[in-house]
Amino acid sequence: MGHRNCLSSELDGSGKKAMNFENNPDAPFTYLLEVATEEVEKNRSELPEPLRDALSEVAMVLEEFPSPAHEADGVDSDQLGLFEGADATDPTSPQMPRIVLWLGNLWDMCEAKEDAYREEVRITFLHELGHYLGLDEGDLSERGLE
């Protein structure tokens, strides 16, 4: 799970974190969602067939920022992604596996640069996929997916 500082998000009037596009109106959340979806699908299609098949069992969730419930569970407000649920080594678990990417945090971490954002979506997706496959942080670091 990546932990990086946010650069351009701020609290809205309700105290919830919200994206600030004041200096970059060309990147509303719908655009970030579209770009992230493209990157995830591109990377998914490039995986070997057995991994693509395994990934069909994993829900992919793209959100703006971690929810208050995630933060209450210990997720950092600037975290980039998370794998939740049973990993591939525990197929008997009833808990559905899911990968969550927080697009606002990814965009902020990349300082609103689209090429960097695309690359970080790729890295974070593969990092969380690695957790689904049973890899720990050390294994992921050895593979350049920290």
In the chain, what are the domain boundaries? 9-142
Residue 75 near residue 63 (C-beta atoms within 8 A)? no
The per-residue pLDDT for range 24-77, each reduced to its tens digit, is: 544 578 889 999 999 999 999 999 998 888 888 899 999 999 999 999 999 999
Q: What percent of the chain has pLDDT over 70?
A: 80
pLDDT category of residue 4 using cuts at 50, 70 and 90: very low
pLDDT of residue 7: 30
The neighbour count for residue 106, using CB atoms within 10 Å, is 25
Q: What percent of the chain has pLDDT over 90?
A: 53
pLDDT of residue 102: 96
What does the alpha-carbon distance between residue 20 and residue 92 come to, in Å, rounded to a whole number? Answer: 43
Does domain 9-142 bear CATH number 3.30.70.260? no
Give the contacts of 7 (CB within 8 A, at least 6 positions apart): 108, 109, 111, 112
Least confident of 1-15, 68-82, 130-144: 1-15
pTM of the model: 0.79
Cα 113 to the center of its chain, rounded Å:
17
pLDDT category of residue 105 using cuts at 50, 70 and 90: very high
Residue 146 near residue 127 (C-beta atoms within 8 A)? yes
